[in-house]
């Protein structure tokens, strides 16, 4: 058993959680720039952390504070990317996943010409990656839509936003196509149902009589159409370009073998995969349409939409995988949080400090399930554990829990490959500590590289190698053959 030759080992970040410099170089405000750090909210209650209102947005817009709007400061990747990429190269990275902030290229989203300074910033990153011999994997949309589009159009709810997104994609393909072969359309496209503002720019108060849920599905449909256009453009404009979809793989097991629990679980898993179904098969699953109909949710479609979706299917399937949960029809079953979800607790699994149930075998099951369903190459583009790390007096950081988490997941990936799954690569989330997407904390650390900054933004921002840095370096150097503790 081994990882294939040329396996793409690396790591993933997102612009809005890492770059900072939210107003530099002509960048416009994005939805991430108004995400508020709520120190007193329970970290296991993702809904409170991701909640948004018009008042809160307006207050944020009139404020230049970066303490309570931590994504505005990120980890200052904007100014330190050379140092950061050098560290990733030192670990031997073959691939680096990052996103392009839409509002750096189109500050409001409505401009007809891109912002040159923003364009140049990403070109510099891509040149640096080329010099370091690291393959870029670019996410076009990772929770960072221009705020203006959210306020004016209620985000993707309005179909005019498709055109603005396609314009942005065209610019990316035209300028960066010579550097980038692998692209992803929408990060965790399914998450629009769980946090509509972050994913689709939807503000509940602007949904009117139609209601938030119906707006979410309408916006999702527009994202599918935008993704179709984007895949087609990628194929036309980028020589050898490949487009992937990106799914939050929310692995759910039945809590018991009672048939009703199994049926409820099946429903959950089908719902989770419906998003990739659309982008891989190029059509809506009949059962999902039926379900929407029963719920009184009507998606308005233009005549050409379904053919755009059909013609713009993806070349590979990427997904994030952090945890699993169970499902039960028992209303009293104990619940536990996961990646912006609340599931039923699994008595066989331990949880992270944030309550996410750690389940390496679930990664193997996911890989096999997705490959069997789609028969297309897979890419694990996010996986990792958020933990509180301790910076010792001598400047070291010992994180055996992180090494253990990764090792157990890599072993399961290996088993899936051995079973015949085509796995292109793996990018950990996140190779360097950054701002949490859900809680806006800095102390929820994922990195092999420690960043000296606390939740309030205090710290030198110095980068420090953790023990896991040396361990991952060894794993990459041996293409996964040596996963022993020794570093
Ligand atoms: C994924 C997102 O859902 O989970 C990332 O794509 C995010 O942006 C990651 O950072 C981990 O979640 P969190 O909330 O711990 O940052």
Q: Is residue 3 part of a domain?
A: no
Structure tokens at 259: 């048939």
Q: Is residue 482 part of a domain?
A: no
Regarding the beta carbon of 387 and ligand 1, being less than 6 Å apart is answered: no
CA of 436 to the centre of ligand 1 (A): 6
Q: Is residue 416 part of a domain?
A: yes
Domain that holds residue 79: 8-477
**What does the pLDDT read at residue 2?**
86
Q: How far apart are CA 230 and CA 228, in angstroms?
A: 5
Q: Is residue 391 part of a domain?
A: yes
Regarding the beta carbon of 144 and ligand 1, being less than 6 Å apart is answered: no
Structure tokens at 336: 């536990």
Q: How far apart are CA 214 and CA 207, in angstroms?
A: 9
Regarding the beta carbon of 139 and ligand 1, being less than 6 Å apart is answered: no
**Could you tell me how many residues make up the chain?**
487
- Residue having the nearest C-alpha atom to atom 7 of ligand 1: 437
CA of 257 to the centre of ligand 1 (A): 31
Number of domains in the chain: 1
CB 19 within 8 A of CB 74: yes
Distances (CA, A) of 384 to 6, 359, 402, 444: 22, 11, 8, 11
Catalytic residues: 188, 382
**What does the pLDDT read at residue 1?**
62
Q: How far apart are CA 220 and CA 298, in angstroms?
A: 12
- Residue having the nearest C-alpha atom to atom 3 of ligand 1: 339
- Of ligand 1's atoms, which has the minimum distance to the CA of residue 438? 14
Structure tokens at 431: 């190779």
Q: Is residue 486 part of a domain?
A: no
Regarding the beta carbon of 187 and ligand 1, being less than 6 Å apart is answered: yes
Q: Is residue 484 part of a domain?
A: no
Q: What is the largest CA-CA distance in the chain?
A: 65
- Residue having the nearest C-alpha atom to atom 9 of ligand 1: 437
**Which stretches of the chain drop beneath a pLDDT of 50?**
none
Q: What is the domain-level CATH number for residue 80?
A: 3.20.20.80
Q: Is residue 347 part of a domain?
A: yes
pTM value is 0.97
């Amino acid at each position: 058993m081994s990882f294939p030759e040329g396996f793409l080992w690396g790591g993933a970040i997102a612009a809005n959680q890492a770059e900072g410099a939210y107003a530099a170089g002509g960048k416009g405000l994005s939805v991430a720039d108004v995400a508020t750090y709520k120190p007193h909210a329970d970290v296991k209650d993702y809904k409170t952390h991701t909640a948004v209102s018009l008042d809160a947005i307006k207050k944020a817009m009139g404020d230049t504070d970066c303490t309570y709007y931590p994504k505005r400061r990120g980890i200052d990747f904007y100014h330190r990317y050379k140092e950061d990429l050098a560290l990733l190269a030192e670990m031997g990275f073959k691939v680096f996943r990052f996103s392009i902030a839409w509002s750096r290229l189109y500050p409001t989203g409505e401009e007809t010409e891109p912002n040159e300074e923003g364009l140049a910033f990403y070109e510099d990153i891509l040149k640096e990656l080329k010099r370091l011999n690291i393959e870029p994997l670019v996410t076009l949309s990772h929770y960072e839509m221009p705020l203006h589009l959210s306020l004016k159009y209620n985000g993707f709810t309005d179909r005019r936003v498709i055109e603005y997104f396609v314009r942005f994609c065209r610019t990316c393909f035209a300028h960066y196509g010579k550097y980038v072969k692998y692209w992803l359309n929408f990060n965790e496209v399914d998450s629009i149902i769980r946090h509509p503002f972050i994913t689709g720019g939807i503000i509940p108060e602007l949904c009117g009589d139609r209601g938030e849920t119906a707006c979410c599905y309408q916006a999702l449909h527009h994202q599918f159409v935008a993704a179709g256009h984007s895949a087609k453009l990628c194929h036309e404009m980028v020589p050898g370009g490949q487009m992937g979809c990106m799914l939050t793989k929310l692995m759910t097991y039945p809590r018991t073998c009672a048939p009703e629990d199994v049926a409820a679980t099946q429903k959950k898993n089908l719902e989770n995969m419906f998003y990739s179904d659309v982008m891989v098969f190029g059509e809506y699953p009949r059962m999902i349409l039926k379900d929407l109909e029963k719920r009184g949710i009507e998606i308005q479609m233009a005549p050409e939409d379904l053919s755009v979706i059909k013609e713009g299917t993806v070349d590979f399937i990427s997904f994030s995988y952090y945890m699993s949960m169970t499902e039960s029809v028992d209303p009293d079953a104990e619940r536990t949080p996961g990646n912006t979800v609340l599931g039923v607790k699994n008595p066989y699994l331990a949880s992270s400090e944030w309550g996410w149930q750690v389940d390496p075998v679930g990664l193997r099951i996911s890989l096999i399930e997705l490959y069997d369903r789609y028969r297309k190459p897979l890419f694990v583009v996010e996986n990792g554990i958020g933990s509180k790390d301790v910076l010792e007096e001598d400047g070291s950081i010992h994180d055996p829990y992180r090494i253990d988490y990764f090792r157990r997941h890599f072993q399961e990936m290996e088993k899936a490959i051995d079973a015949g799954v085509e796995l292109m690569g793996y990018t950990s989330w996140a190779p360097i500590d950054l701002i949490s997407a859900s809680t806006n904390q800095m102390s929820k650390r994922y990195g092999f590289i420690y960043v000296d900054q606390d939740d309030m933004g205090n710290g030198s921002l110095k980068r420090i190698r953790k023990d896991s840095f040396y361990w991952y370096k060894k794993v990459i150097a041996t293409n996964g053959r040596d996963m022993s503790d020794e570093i």
